Amino acid sequence: MGLATVALLLHLAVAAPIDADVNAKPAAERSSTQDPFTAPANPQPAAVGSDSTGSPTLTAAKYESGSQNSQSLSTIRVPPVQPGTQSKVIMVESTPSHRKWLALSIVEHSAAAFDAYSTRDAISSGAHETDPLMRPFASSPGIYAAIQAGPLVLDYAARRMQRSPNSFLRHTWWLPQSASTGLFLFSGVHNLNIANRP
């Protein structure tokens, strides 16, 4: 190992100096289209020589960039920023709570069931059903299912009103369910008064 190191050092000391101008090309021969930001194709290597004592010396190579390849930053043209299409953001009021709609639905269906119960109670006391749509079901337990059709339609209408783009409909979504609940309660109380008459 030591022998190889000594042989390498002796080889470097005896080597002939490298002419620094062998690979150099005049600036006029360089391509004018060369990119100023990349390294030249044939850079000049460091020259290795020896001084009077026989020890190797290194001479740094120069990197010369031709004036024709340099480009000042003031000549670089940056295109102006084109304004993009502006998107309109429409703020929509938050829809009413689903819980309120559900609570009104439960109250409305309960009032309808109360109306069906009071109708059957009044009919058992000798009264007659005046609603032509409920008359076929008045004498059977099917009235409990039949009377729920109206509240289902009104629940759907109220939910659509909650999501309507019309501001008036969004603020009055509760009216169909509330009005239906009031009518069912009024009918139920009326039926109970008829059933309790002597």
Q: Each residue of 121-155: pLDDT tens digit?
A: 888 888 888 888 888 888 888 899 999 999 999 99
φ, ψ at 84 (rounded to 5°): -80, 170
What is the spatial distance between Cα 187 and Cα 129, in angstroms, rounded to a whole number?
A: 11
Using alpha carbons, list the distances in angstroms from residue 173 to 36, 104, 107, 136, 188: 71, 11, 15, 32, 24
CB 115 within 8 A of CB 124: no
Q: Each residue of 92-113: pLDDT tens digit?
A: 455 568 899 999 999 999 999 9
Q: Each residue of 11-57: pLDDT tens digit?
A: 655 554 554 444 445 544 554 455 555 555 555 555 555 556 666 66
Closest CA to 123 of 186, 188, 198, 191: 191
Cα dihedral 158, 163, 164, 166 sign: positive
Q: Each residue of 171-196: pLDDT tens digit?
A: 999 999 999 999 999 999 999 998 88
